[in-house]
């Protein structure tokens, strides 16, 4: 998945009330200058109020603070990409299958005996069980059917984060979203192993076109970063 930084002014209800949201998702780093005047980190909002910083899957902040900042308030993951989070960060589970929901309770408490799906799973992760949030699986189905017209096998996590932001935020700014100039999605924290990777099972072209259309009709502001 590509890097997506969503900075939005929001009425976010159960998240933090009326606040400013800043979302970050693993991927390629925008090559533009600082996105907020006077700010060093790409993920800082220019407006006041509390911010949300969402990190996706295996994306680290350590060692990349200049580009992605150092704060994480919500870490979105599924079992195959599970990471430890600190005690004040919310783990947000994006379940793709029933096994994901079965894995979660033990994984954030005493440990689970569910240790394999299509790859090895961590039996236990460090996370504050009282801050765990689960995205309703119906949300993925809704995006696949309504926003993507059944294209691809399933939506990318980046696109799901973008649509979630549109649902809870009044303004959304998107940075570095989509494929790079070679047509690949890759992570900023590791080299691209396969040059012809493309966008995998996700409908990358369709997601990109939807995002561009949303920008054209002023539902979001997009900065490609390349």
H/E element, 161: helix 157-168
75 is catalytic: no
CA 12 from centroid of its chain's CA atoms: 17
Q: Cα 189 to the chain's mean position, in Å?
A: 15
Query: Which of the residues 154, 188, 208, 223 is marked catalytic?
Result: 154
Query: Chain centroid to CA 103: how far?
Result: 21
Residue 211 tokens, joined: 């995002």
3-state secondary structure of 114: coil
Q: Among this protein's residues, is 175 annotated catalytic?
A: no
Q: Is the separation of the CB atoms in 3 and 185 below 8 Å?
A: no
Give the list of residues 6+ apart from residue 149 with CB closer than 8 angstroms, or none: 206
Q: Using an 8 Å Cβ cutoff, are 46 and 77 in contact? A: no
Give the contacts of 188 (CB within 8 A, at least 6 positions apart).
Answer: 3, 26, 27, 28, 29, 59, 64, 67, 68
Say which of 74, 75, 144, 202 is annotated catalytic: 202
What would the two tokens of residue 62 be? Answer: 């350590």
Residue 189 to residue 183: CA distance in whole angstroms: 18
Give the residue numbers annotated as catalytic, written as ranges.
154, 202
């Amino acid at each position: 998945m590509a890097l997506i930084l969503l900075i939005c002014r929001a009425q976010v209800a159960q998240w933090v009330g009326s606040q400013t949201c800043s979302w970050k998702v693993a991927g390629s780093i925008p090559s533009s200058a600082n996105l907020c005047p006077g700010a060093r980190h790409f993920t800082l909002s220019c407006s006041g109020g509390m911010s949300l910083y969402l990190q996706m899957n295996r994306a680290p902040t350590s060692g990349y603070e200049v580009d992605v900042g150092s704060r994480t308030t919500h870490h979105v993951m599924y079992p195959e990409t599970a990471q430890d989070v600190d005690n004040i960060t919310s783990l947000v589970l994006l379940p793709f299958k029933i096994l994901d929901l079965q894995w979660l309770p033990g994984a954030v408490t005493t440990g689970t005996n569910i240790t394999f799906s299509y790859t090895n799973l961590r039996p236990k992760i460090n996370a504050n069980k009282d801050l765990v949030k689960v995205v309703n699986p119906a949300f993925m189905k809704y995006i696949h059917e309504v926003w993507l017209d059944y294209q691809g096998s399933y939506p990318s996590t980046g696109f799901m984060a973008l649509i979630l932001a549109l649902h809870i935020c009044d303004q959304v700014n998107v940075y570095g979203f989509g494929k790079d100039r070679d047509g690949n999605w890759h992570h900023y924290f590791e080299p691209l192993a396969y040059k012809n990777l493309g966008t995998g099972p996700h409908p990358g072209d369709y997601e990109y076109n939807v995002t561009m259309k949303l920008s054209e009709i002023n539902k979001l502001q997009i900065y490609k970063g390349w």
